[in-house]
A and B are shown apart, each in its own frame.
Chain A
């Protein structure tokens, strides 16, 4: 029988895969993909807690919608920043954005 622990372990595995993508990728857009995967795994955990602990309240699913709203705002602004950076300096590799590093 599939229980809460299955979904929590799956969410944790997806979070760790997203973390690997976020810390170890060279391209800024790939780093953004990792961050999106981490947000999605948290959403999966929220829905699982809602489903297995308080299935009559649905507050967890409402919270998921708020997380999706914040993630959409973050992606739009972040991709605009990446495009602006590309237009000014013609790079999308995060290692080369070292103007402040001595």
Chain B
């Protein structure tokens, strides 16, 4: 059956892309593998009949968040981009913890019977049903999500403005480094540097 073939193809590709994202040495390559992972997850959504969620995944994750990550990588300087995505000293223990968690999850999932055949959910698009849920049942959560997005927008602008903002928390001395060693903030920074 074609659905089974597509599932295994997408599953293998998404696992390979996610592993490449974690294990590649180049941070830009990691961001591109992350975009590929998100796109393949969108394919899995569409395979399950969730067309609206798949479209949202492509628009927001592949289109916006990945680009934001690439901007973040481009705006921060580093020595060599080929060696910018190293593991820290918890690499081995983190791998062991992840493997143990995966084993536990597999045991839990396979411990009881799960339904294998989805009941048919109609041929039409899911957009109408989800829109009805948003504007009737979940309208409060919908409005709260809008307020959260507004707060995140303002917060990102204020944090991203840095010391050029009108009300900087540390003042110009701390932002400029240890030019004046009399200031407390400059002294802490000079001590660390």
Contacts and interface: CB of A to CB of B under 8 A. Distances in A.
Given A16-B98, A61-B50, A86 B76 contact: yes
Interface in B54-75: 56-57, 60-61, 64-65, 68-69, 71-73, 75
Contacts, number: 248
B74 to A, nearest CB: 11
B87 A24 contact: yes
A53 to B, nearest CB: 7
Interface string A1-42: 111111111101111111111011111011011101100100
Contact of A24 (B88, B101, B102, B151): B88
| Interface range on chain B (Cβ under 8 Å from partner) | 35 or more
Nearest to A70: B148
Nearest to B111: A5
Contact of B21 (A5, A33, A56, A99): A33
B117 A3 contact: yes
B78 interface: yes
Interface of B: 1, 3-4, 7, 11, 14-15, 18-19, 21-22, 27, 30-31, 34, 37-38, 41, 44-45, 48-50, 52-53, 56-57, 60-61, 64-65, 68-69, 71-73, 75-78, 84-88, 90-91, 93-95, 97-99, 101-102, 105-106, 109-110, 114-122, 126, 129-130, 133-134, 137-138, 141, 145, 148-149, 151-153, 155-157, 159-160, 162-163, 170, 174-175, 188-189, 192
